[in-house]
Homo-oligomer: A and B are copies of this chain.
C-alpha cells in the first residue's frame, strides 16, 4: 500500500484542498476518515511543505483557540492546473489497469 501511495497522496491532498482550504491536522483527520488510517502525520506535513514550495498552494496563518496557530492551505491557479494534470495521469493509469484486470489485452 505505502508504495502505491507514492505520488498519489499528493494528488489526493490537492483534491481535498480544491474543495475547501484546510490545515494540516485537519487534512490528516480527513484522510483517516476516508479510510487511509495508517498515514503518518509527518508524511502529510512534509507533503504540504513540498507543494507550498512548488507554489501550488497559498498559506495563511490563523490563530487557534486550542494550540499553536494553524497554517491554512488553499489551492491557487497553478495548483488547480496541476490537479487537472494529475487527474489526466490518473485516468490513463486506471484505464490500463482496468483493461489488465478484466483479463484482456
Residues of A within 8 A of B (CB): 1-8, 10-12, 15-16, 19, 30, 34-36, 87, 89-90, 92-94, 96-97, 99-101, 103, 105
Contacts and interface: CB of A to CB of B under 8 A. Distances in A.
Contacts of A6: 3-4, 6-7
- Tell me the interface secondary structure of chain A in the complex: helix
Given A2-B7, A4-B93, 19 more contacts: A1-B7, A3-B10, A4-B11, A4-B90, A5-B93, A6-B7, A8-B93, A8-B97, A11-B97, A12-B97, A12-B100, A15-B97, A15-B100, A30-B105, A34-B99, A35-B96, A36-B96, A87-B101, A94-B94
A11 to B, nearest CB: 8
